[in-house]
Amino acid sequence: MRKIPMIMATQHPDNISEAFWLGKSFIDTRDEVKECFVSFSELSCQEFMWDWEGKYVDEAVIERLFEENFNFFKKKPLGKELFLTYRFPNIWIEKGSYRVLRAFANIITAYDIAKDIGIHSPPIFEVILPMVTSAEQLIFLQAKFAELARFVRNDSKTKIGSGNPSIIEIIPLVEDIPHMLKIDELLEKYLYLYEKKGLGKIKSIEYLRPFIARSDPALNYGLVPAVLAVKIALAKSYQIASRLGIQVYPIIGCGSVPFRGHLSPENINNFLNEYPGIKTVTIQSSFRYDYPLKKVKNAVKTLNAKLQKPAKIPVIESKDLKALEDIIKIFKGYYRQDITRLAELINSVSKYIPRRRERKLHIGLFGYSREFTKGISLPRAITFTASFYSLGIPPEIIGVGRGLKMVWKKGLEDVLQKYYSNIVFDLKEACGFVNRENIQRLKKKFTNLKNIEEDLELIENILKIPTEPLTNKQLIHKNLTSNILLLLEEKKDPSSLIEEAGALRNFMG
């Protein structure tokens, strides 16, 4: 069996502080090869996500890594001890299949580069497909790669390469809750089609690494539905794997803020207790750069130690499954109702959120837009979260109070607390950054903010937690968000204050 990496460093631009190895907070494409090496060599990550989706990418990453760090990778080979995993664009959503073809060629030639210099090959054999909605998407990409690899391998006239690996392994990244709730059906169909299409004759499947999103589900459905959907997806992944006689090693994609997963150097134990069964976690830019380096290294060491232990298999009792789906619908309804009406507000703030990467626009000539609902587009999850926090309205709270009230009314509170064990802790953390005066001020134009005020009162009454700033840091943050709103009202740029506020939180978004 191959080594399964436990920690995957990613390029998500959620950091507020400078990268310790760079001396600045903005990381451009030319810096990312070094960032990859630092993640391996200094932070002890075993995997790095090399993102071809929605951003510019250095396509010479393999040559640069090997040329600049040959002795390191000779001792710790890519594809054996360490892993560089490409995230592809989703060609059914993002314009232009040519970027996938370039990535295909990159993987094929990486084999020959490694072989020529005497390093383990293939260095890259596994890719991530985001926004997966069907097993057919996975099979299509694998079949196309196999065709290209076979063509290159058999073209004896040009001898432009060996064409290996002959097939790529693929990680389905499931990001939408309806598909997360049916991940068992997706994985079962994928295994069936893999054999039916003859791909099993090229290489048999010994394991699966389903990648379960935690950030985008929160943006689209709210905090509580995102947490519960991940729990269901994890349980169903193990259940179907056991039935089909295959190993499963789930990945969870999460940020450091509670809304996006709450995996920070200061919250390791709570996080792992919340998501049993996880075998690989993503640590994004904020985790790595918004905390003291010593604390980050200790946190990575702790994660490595805990994740290498045998997984505690998550189980959802059949009598609870229907109740969890009902709870998801309750919270989703209140959340989406308010976000739809607040889209104008969030989009007006989002343009001032400082950039941290050379991301391509998700609308325009080469981009795409992740539409929230028909006719309404929102910023990506990091910018979305940063925009709300910059106003003193943590997105964690939206719809939650009213959802709690309905859950208690229907007698579902025991199920909620059983499967979301950290709900009080997560909401208490978020509520420390509330600015009620800003909500009151904005309510004159965005009248549905009265619902957010109701949410706060209900959270406080039902869960018995404070819903306002208490510490000095939180009170300073509140003052900053008040000034941010004043500058926005005067049509002035508040980006410097947005950065100050983010520094107090230890995350951009």
Distances (CA, A) of 502 to 291, 382, 462, 507: 12, 12, 29, 5
Alpha-carbon gap, residue 273 to 275, rounded angstroms: 6
pLDDT, tens only, 468-506: 999 999 999 999 999 999 999 999 999 999 999 999 999
Alpha-carbon gap, residue 352 to 390, rounded angstroms: 10
Indicate the domain borders of the chain: 7-307, 319-505
What letter would DSSP give residue 313? -
Distances (CA, A) of 478 to 100, 321, 431, 500: 45, 40, 11, 11
**Whether the Cβ atoms of residue 279 and residue 4 lie closer than 8 Å to each other:** yes
* DSSP-derived secondary structure for 60-89: THHHHHHHHSHHHHHHS-BTTTBEEEEEPP
Looking at beta carbons, which pairs linking 455-460 to residues 24 or more positions away fall under 8 Å? 455/397, 455/398, 455/399, 455/400, 455/401, 455/402, 456/397, 456/401, 456/431, 457/401, 458/401, 458/402, 458/404, 458/405, 459/397, 459/400, 459/401, 459/404, 459/427, 459/431
What is the separation of C-alpha 144 from the centre of its chain, rounded to a whole number of angstroms?
A: 27
Output the pLDDT for position 289.
98
Three-state SS at 174: strand
Alpha-carbon gap, residue 187 to 125, rounded angstroms: 20
Alpha-carbon gap, residue 173 to 127, rounded angstroms: 10
State yes or no: cis peptide before 395, omega within 30 of 0. no
Output the pLDDT for position 359.
67
pLDDT, tens only, 256-296: 999 999 999 999 999 999 999 999 999 999 999 999 999 99
Residue 159 burial (10 A CB sphere; 0-12, 13-18, 19+):
exposed
**Mutual orientation of helices 183-196 and 223-244 as an angle, nearest 10°?**
40
Give the type of residue at 225: P
The CATH number of 7-307, from 3.40.50.300, 3.40.190.10, 3.20.19.10, 3.20.20.60, is 3.20.20.60
Q: Would you tell me how many other CB atoms lie within 10 Å of the CB of residue 298?
A: 14
What is the separation of C-alpha 417 from the centre of its chain, rounded to a whole number of angstroms?
A: 24
Output the pLDDT for position 1.
72
Residue 313's contacts (CB-CB under 8 Å, 6 or more residues apart) are 238, 276, 277
**Whether the Cβ atoms of residue 19 and residue 25 lie closer than 8 Å to each other:** yes
Where helices occur in 245-350 by DSSP H, the ranges are 268-274, 285-289, 293-307, 318-350
Residues of the chain with pLDDT under 70: 95-97, 154-163, 359-374
* DSSP-derived secondary structure for 265-285: TT-HHHHHHHSTT--EEEE-H
For 127, phi then psi, to 5°, come to -135, 160
pTM exceeds 0.85: yes
